[in-house]
Structure 1
Amino acid sequence: MALQDRDKKPCPGCSSCLIEPYIRCIVCGPPKVCICLQCFSHAWEDGKHQSDHDYEIIANQFSVLDSSWTAKEELKFLDAIGDCGLGNWQDVAVQVQTKTKLECERHYNRVFINNSRGLFPSLPQLTLVRRDPIICRMSEDPPRPSKETQRADMAGYTPARGDFNAEFDNYAEHDVLDIYFQGEEEPLLEQLKVAAVDIYSERLQERQRRKRMVRNYGLINIAKIQMTELGYDKVTKELNKSLNPFMKLQTPLAHDKLLEGLIYENDLKKEVKRLQEFRRNGIKSFKGARLFDQLKRRRERSNQQRTNHLSHVLNSTEDPGACCQLLQRFALLEAGHTELPPIIPSMRRAAPPLNLLDFPGYERLNEKEREMCASVRIIPEAYFEYKRIFQAEYQKLGYLKLKHARNLIRIDVNKIRKLFDFLIKECVISNGNETEEVDRFEPVNRFEPVS
């Protein structure tokens, strides 16, 4: 709950006047974004406010200073005193609307004049925790994440219990489960039991040490650590990975300082190498260094383009049309043209034959049918179905044309042509003793004069 805002604004979602209770976003601002309950139920958003932001409910129907006065009435009462002045209780009561003149006067005297305990209870002093630059330090107890946090992202940490699912050396208690010291007569057996308890105590200390390291180094939220490491460059990631085994030998702050020092050392080495390169090339001014960097980047781009051209040549060796386009591209490049046309391959690589051994119906195919199905990439069951459809249409009409076959099944037209030619060649169907030359090659010119 929170007190009412003095300068209440209309709802940005529906432009209606905000009536308590309403919702105020605690992420956006200033100014704070306040929306009505109806817009909140419809998950209203704009360019800045999002529906998953944290929020608070603004409602003043609760007591603050007096059990018979609500927070809303207290605010109206204080505003009325500021407008009308002390002693003018009649006008103050008119502005409050829910209290009489006598009630306003008694409330003021009881709460603000004769109250010896003070208006508000004293709150405990808050202490601020300093956060280090690289790793956010955890408190002594692991934090309780929100309900939406996945347990798998919390290193086995259970938010409801504030503890881990499985402890380090989780079965250490089994070794001391049946040890009793009451009525022990043999000294040797008693010493063995004491030694077992000492070993168990050391194992508990190691367990607590590991849990303390997980908390102090912020290793509970694995997703957060991964998101932080995404911002590191390659050198920082390698340094962080190589230093992880030494984290237990020093404090978290000392580990962070060591990592930052090594990163700074690596940056200095890069800068020294850069300056040494300038000196080897006879550069003694920063102006010449800038010009050298520009020319160096230009040379690197040129070498990269040559590498790309070589890859184009290797990819176009089996395509004569693409080779011709590539030679034209090189000629334009040597002439100084910057806008070069793309290389369009003129032929498509044939797909490898299909292995039919693992498909059902393979044993029903003869040698020619197996070769045809493998090259055309048709499985045996589909071949038998297409063959049955073609035979049924052939028996119905007495012949079967290629254009009719294309309407019977809906697959690639090239596969239909090869399948149709194979069935014609094997005398499974007939095209009525009419050739398909016109359909196979270019169409006849209809406007050619007839002799």
Structure 2
Amino acid sequence: METENKPQCGNCHKELDTVYIKCAECPNASICPPCFSRGAEFQSHSNRHLYKIIDAGNFPVIEQNWTAVEEKLLLEGIEQFGIGNWEDVACYVEGKKAQDLEEHYYKSYIDSSDLGMATVPGKIPNGVTDHAPALNQTGALNLAKDSEVTKEQESQLAYMPLRDDYEMEHDNDAETIISGLIPNIEDTDLDTNLKVAKVSIYLEKLRERHRRKVVAREYNLVEKFFNKNSRDYPKRLLSCLQFMREQQAASFSRDFRREQILKMKVKHLKLYRKHGIKKLDDAAVFDVKHRRRTRAKLNLKSPDSVQNDKPLDKLLLEYGCHYLSSEEKILCKSLKMIPSRYITSKTLIVKEYLQKQHGIGIKVRFPGYLEKHQKKKIVNFLALNGWLPGSSSS
């Protein structure tokens, strides 16, 4: 039976102060949780009847002087007014001071090993890491790469190497997309989705900005903007080189040039083999006669007009240029002689010198394109560089 003020369990007759069960079919039938769990039945009440849970909220949950109702009001007040606005939360939780609310919240929900820290994982996924040093710490910044740009060039580019940033970034007005976004609890799903879409667009622009900075660092574009250490690559290779790093591009261009030289060598060897030539001396004579026949077919007046009409820089792009030193290249430019002819003339001059040194009287036949003043300059050059010790021009 129940009294007017204190409900009692109809089975064990204990007073019910906190949570108890009330039958929805029997009037004035209340049961304590232990009797309800055992399926107790009394008078007209059956354990098959419908029931409802009565929660007075007067029992403690964490601390003895804090009831469940007060804990609930505290969390609702923090959710409504925010952490730190303890005076407003105190007005929401009657009977508690602002200082008591703050101390109880941090003690029970933040610093507690049972409820606070136990619910916080050791490693928070997608957490934000603060890399800024403390106020009492000093030290140099760890830069990704030392900049080789001078102060004057930094000023021209508006470049800040310590931050690896530019005053005028790529898509510099990207921040205007989110500058007017303000969270509002009254936003509809459409408003929320629109704001999320704007944030996604802004993040994509930041990724593109970061990607461009990475490319500028990896390919040294800041230095190359001022034509530092620039390389001249064949135009037909640019479509391939743009997808490579600097070292890969240099290696690829070098291998490509070597491939072209080897192909040219193979082509010449096939031509020699076709005409039955087996010695390099015979090959030099064949080259001379072959060029003469070619000029005759083109009805050229002067034997040297083809090579003399070429620009001097283009003469050095001919086959055999990679065998010459920088001084020999300059000599070829002054003589207006292609590298293959210079190498042939040089070989015959050295051969003639060695025959004279060993007393061999066989006369060396020089090609018809080698003029006297050219031979004299080549002999002087070879003697000056130690190829012909003690020799003088003849």
TM normalised by structure 1 equals 0.30
Instruction: Kindly indicate whether structure 1 or structure 2 has the higher relative contact order, using CA contacts under 8 Å at least 6 residues apart.
Output: 1
Larger radius of gyration: 2
